[in-house]
Amino acid sequence: MSLDYKSYEEAKEKFKWKERWTLFDGTKDHFNIAHECIDRHPKNEYAIRIKFCDGRSEMYTFGQFSEYTCRFANYLEAKGIESGDKVVILLFPSIELYVSMFGAFRRGAVAVMCFPLFGPEAVNFRLSKSNAKAIITTKSMINLVDKELVDILGLKIIYADDLMAELQNCSDTYKWRTDVDSICMMQFSSGTTGEPKSILYKHGAISVAGVVMKLGNGLRPDDIYFCPSSPGWGHGIWYGTIAPLIHGRAIGTFSGKFDTDKVLEALEEWGVTIMAAISSHYRLIMESPNIERYKVKLRTVNYTGEAMTKGTIAALKRVWGIYPAAQYGTTEAGPIALDFMAFDNWVIKPGSLGKLMLGGIKIAILDEYEKEVPPGTTGQVTLWRNNAWFKIGDSAYIDEDGYFWYVGRIDDVIISAGYTIGPIEVEGAVNKHPAVEECAVVGSPDKNRGDIVKAVVVLNKGYTGSKDLEEDIKAFVKTRLSKHEYPREIEFTTELPKTPDGKIKRKILKEREKQLKALGPLE
């Protein structure tokens, strides 16, 4: 079996990236995601499991999935969608979404996945930037699309409401004509630091996801996989959708606004053994008053996105008896560090992001002069590419045992009186206070300390901001963190600025702090 190493040590010694191609049937000149993810697996086994927010479930086999995507590829061809044309998909997880996505891949078109809770500005930005030729959405969501833009782009509108019925008139066979270098997807960043950036992916990019799913997630032939991340974002696209299918394991997903009870219901109903999600999903699940009602069979869980707080890690161990495994990478750079759950001898260091990716990728933690820092010293994460260091924009350190510890975005890290403070753990401590619903921690300019730690806090219902509550929160945090880490300033607000996928836009808060401090105290 490909990548079938017995231990982390063996994989570290022997794994080379060229080995990833042994996971697939195709060649570099004849390669297609739809074929590799669907056609070569047993037709009667499940390919898709969807739990909907109303509690119902739908399941589809690889045989059905193959037929539907062939029909859709023919449908696109009849609509005049050519190889390389951009097709925007604005849908909640559903059979229509997956058929559209993989049918576009099969056709050789370029899928542009959109988060279904986007407002009109975000939708039209992606339509315009991609120069889309078609959009697949519902009749209830089409009002998000600017009518003038439809005319400018010559946009073809395909309604998911009628799609499956229309596909019955199309052939259920299709001869695809792509290779590893054919473009398959345009993916947009979430825009935490500015305007969302677009990145083009080739069909061959799935080879990386195949390796991470095997070595990192530790996916086995008998596993039941579940990932509630939206396929409108990178994690939901690659590790919620594409990666399990590479190995013949079904997509397991949730459709609708995240609901802890329905997600727990899916875990129990399907007998899920591996769950992959973003940190906030686990926090919400662990906070559910009903969590003990559900009998789960999880043997491992892993997370990505923002760092996980110590409180959530402890809760996962207490409730499910599992320490969460971590995966860290970026849209631009790919996988950087992870826990290698394929190996029984792997030891998770709770809170770390595992060890650096294998296979000869050169990754280092550098100081401001591009010199490698010693173990335990915080610096900037960099990759060696094209004979130069490529800066990720994150700060981290590697400990004596080779484990990778995330500190924060370079722009988010707070330097206060010489101390380096990451906002994640401070936010985690503030969020434990009974009055706090959520918070964001940023550096606020201070003439003596450089920056001080400031918490912008949204209160739970029934609480009102006051000086006494500020002091109570400060005292509460002091008992949980080092003396230099507690927030010296607290501001109460009704809402935090966020990206559409729920990440806090700390940059907006930091810029506001700079402006306020520059103005000085108000008279």
Which CATH number characterizes residue 429's domain? 3.30.300.30
Our CA angle for 228, 302, 60, nearest 5°, is: 40
Is 504 a member of any domain?
Answer: yes
Between 454 and 421, the higher pLDDT residue: 454
26 in Cβ contact with 35 (< 8 Å): yes
Question: For residues 390 and 294, which has the higher predicted lDDT (pLDDT)?
Answer: 294
Is 359 within the bounds of a domain? no
- Domains identified in the chain, total number: 1
Identify whether 162 is part of a domain: no
> Mean pLDDT across the stretch 205-214?
95
Q: What is the predicted pLDDT for the residue at 133? A: 98
Q: If you average pLDDT over each of 102-116, 279-293, 486-500, which comes out highest?
A: 102-116
> Quick one: what percent of the chain has pLDDT higher than 90?
75
CA distance 216 to 325: 9
Residue 251 lies in a domain: no
Cα-to-chain-centroid distance, residue 494:
26
Coil, helix or strand at residue 327: strand
Q: Which residues, in sequence order, are CB contacts of 443 under 8 Å at separation 6+? A: 413, 414, 415, 416, 451, 452, 453, 454, 510, 513
Residue 272's closest CA among 253, 258, 256, 285? 253
Q: What is residue 522's predicted lDDT score, i.e. its pLDDT? A: 40
pLDDT at 393 exceeding the cut of 50: yes
User: What is the per-residue pLDDT across 25-53, written as a single tens digit (0 to 9) for each?
Assistant: 999 999 999 999 999 999 999 999 999 99
Token reading at 403:
């484990």
423, 401 Cβ separation under 8 angstroms: no
pTM exceeds 0.85 for this model: no
- Whether 22 is covered by a domain: the verdict is no
Instruction: Give CA–CA dist 447/441, Å, rounded.
Output: 19
Taking residues 394-398, what's their average pLDDT? 92
Report the pLDDT value the prediction gives residue 216, as an integer from 0 to 100.
Answer: 96
Mean pLDDT value across the chain: 92
Q: How confident is the model at residue 501 (pLDDT cuts 50, 70, 90)?
A: low
Give mean pLDDT, residues 104-129.
94
Higher-confidence residue of 432 and 251: namely 251
The string of pLDDT tens digits covering residues 344-380 is: 999 999 999 999 999 988 999 999 888 999 999 999 9
Binned at pLDDT 50, 70 and 90, residue 191 comes out as low
Question: What is the Cα–Cα distance from 42 to 64, expressed in whole angstroms?
Answer: 11
Res 386: pLDDT = 85
Q: How does residue 480 score in pLDDT terms, banded at 50, 70 and 90?
A: confident
Does the residue 482 lie in any domain? Answer: yes
Residue range(s) defining the domain that contains residue 467: 414-519
Predicted local distance difference test score (pLDDT) of residue 520: 55
435 assigned to some structural domain: yes
Is 503 contained in some domain? yes
Q: How confident is the model at residue 101 (pLDDT cuts 50, 70, 90)?
A: very high
pLDDT above 70 covers what percent of the chain?
Answer: 97
